[in-house]
Amino acid sequence: MKALFIGGIKSGKSAQAEKYTLKLATQTPIYLATTEFIDEEMAEKIALHKQNRASNFITVEEPLALADVIVKQESVVLVECVSMWINNMLYHEKSYEDIVQEMRKVLALKQDIVFVFNDVSASVVSQNALVREFVNISGKLSQCIASECDEVYHVVAGIRSRIK
């Protein structure tokens, strides 16, 4: 089983994905945190996320090599979040091909995986080339992931709607 929760920033997609993952799990699920510590604000956000999920998840932190972590897991894995992972891959100078190749490895795994993804499809076209690259990759990768998922949910204002 693979599921995707996609929505805007602060739409409630993470909370919905966590609830879904907990219902799906037969043992303590894995929370695969992709965010790297880049500044104090991000460190505070990470600490709050950890506090909110408390003992409901086993947290594993990995900013780049998702497939290597997921393949070792026996429980359902919540990937939080694909958008930050793309950001990390670009920061570490990985190409679009590298990003797609890693995600294809993830999607080929037999493990149950729940993905969280920021929907950037409604954003404006930026004058910044790196932002445009991020948005383009995000759009293409969300389509790739959605096509391989059994279920896809769009989240707005904390409400999820199943779209696949």
pLDDT digits (tens, 9 = 90+) for 87-145: 999 999 999 999 999 999 999 999 999 999 999 877 778 888 888 999 999 999 999 99
Query: pTM for the whole thing?
Result: 0.92
As a 3-state breakdown, the chain gives helix, strand, coil percent values, each rounded to 5, of 45, 20, 30
Share of the chain above pLDDT 90, in %: 79
Q: Mention the CATH class of domain 2-162.
A: alpha beta
Phi (first) and psi of residue 32, to 5 degrees: -90, 100
Helix or strand run (H / E) with residue 52: helix 40-53
Cβ contact 12:42 at 8 Å: no
pLDDT tens digits along 8-51? 989 999 999 999 999 999 999 999 999 876 778 877 877 777 77
Q: Where are the domains of the chain?
A: 2-162
